[in-house]
Amino acid sequence: MKVQFKAFILTFWSVLSRKTALFPVFSLLVLSSCTKDRITIPSFREIQSPIQEDITSIAFSDSQHGSLTGGKAWEYGFVMNTQDGGLSWYADTILNRKMEDVCFDATGQGYACGQDVLLYKPLGEAHWRVLRIDYQWLRSCHFPDGRRGAVVGGEGYHSGFAHTFGPEPFWKTDSIQTFPNEIESIWYSDSTTLHAVGFGWVLRSADAGHSWERLDITGDFFQCVHFPTPSTGYICGSSGTILKTIDGGLHWKSIRKGGSVGNNLKPFHALWFVTADKGWIVGDKGIFWQTDDGGDSWNLVAEAPSEADFTHVFQMGKKGWATAKGGRLFGFEL
């Protein structure tokens, strides 16, 4: 909120307060709605990065072993690995297309997707392999348990799709669905229920991706969907929207309404929740927020650089990691 607008509000209500005793309470609400508490994470630190290219995603199979993806559209892409909790990284796979997302299933097997390609990293092996060449822009993948998984994508806000795999064999395409709009993120809330979001679309499948229902939710380019429990899930959008469900995605409520101008415009990119109530949301211009009450209130992480354009956040146990454009990496402990 701009200083001039605050001054206007204070002047307006100071006049009105001569006629009502409600001014102190209302003015406090106005000012408090424009501010957030700051929290300090003493262990929050920037990790020396071996690259300068944009990083798009990060995930860990355990506290020491993890991978990240990134690159530049149509020119190059990479998957990098760490074996020391993210302190150092080495390039494992270099491609001529951008890589967008990485995840690990419950068994520790890895999956990574991007332009044209879906990779996997078998359990116990050090390097990534090609799982499929799809010649589509794969934006997000989620393989929860080693028996099933899904990838979604699209290009230029349109040509959306969702591919599901499994249960046996896991590399076989089980279902292919297409949509008019680009789909940006996918998540399983249980073994048969999937949720996908994208350009003005929120989708839900109750039959493992064989059919999809479009929910009556629009108004943002939804960037990320995540379910920390089968019933509780969150969605964020690039214009500042945050949605929450407590019934497995049947119904969603807005806990933050986005907008095109002013304070409501917050370019969120990703969120991650470790419980139904505790989680993080990150985005451009230093957005690094934390909540421990299910999104009712958010705290600003004081140590997060204001100039960093954060792209992803991930937490496992007491350790967390975040990525940003320009090859920037961050780690923290709680």
Do 82 and 212 have their domain in common? yes
Do 123 and 265 have their domain in common? yes
List the end-to-end C-alpha distance of the chain, in Å, as a whole number.
Answer: 31
What residues make up the domain containing 12?
Answer: 1-35
Structural domain count of the chain? 2
Which of the 8 DSSP states describes residue 191? Answer: S
Q: Which two tokens stand for residue 212?
A: 């999809």
Give the global pTM. Answer: 0.88
**One-letter identity of residue 50:** P
Do 242 and 266 have their domain in common? yes
Q: What is the CATH number of the domain that holds 52?
A: 2.130.10.10
Do 173 and 260 have their domain in common? yes
Do 119 and 251 have their domain in common? yes
**One-letter identity of residue 267:** P
Do 239 and 261 have their domain in common? yes
Do 309 and 210 have their domain in common? yes
Do 31 and 94 have their domain in common? no
Place of tokens 């964020």: 236
Do 23 and 56 have their domain in common? no
User: In angstroms, rounded to a whole number, what is the distance separating the alpha carbons of residues 294 and 48?
Assistant: 32
Do 31 and 114 have their domain in common? no
Do 238 and 213 have their domain in common? yes
Do 24 and 69 have their domain in common? no
Residues paired with residue 329 on neighbouring β-strands, in sequence order: 47, 323
Q: Which two tokens stand for residue 309?
A: 């354009």
Query: pLDDT (tens digit, 0 to 9) for every residue of the chain, 334 residues total?
Result: 333 333 433 333 343 333 333 333 333 333 333 347 999 998 999 999 889 999 999 999 999 999 999 999 999 999 999 999 999 999 999 999 999 999 999 999 999 999 999 999 998 888 999 999 989 999 999 999 988 999 999 999 999 999 999 887 767 788 999 999 999 999 999 999 999 999 999 999 999 999 999 999 999 999 999 999 999 999 999 999 999 999 999 999 999 999 876 777 999 999 999 999 999 999 999 999 999 999 999 999 999 999 999 999 999 999 999 999 999 999 999 9
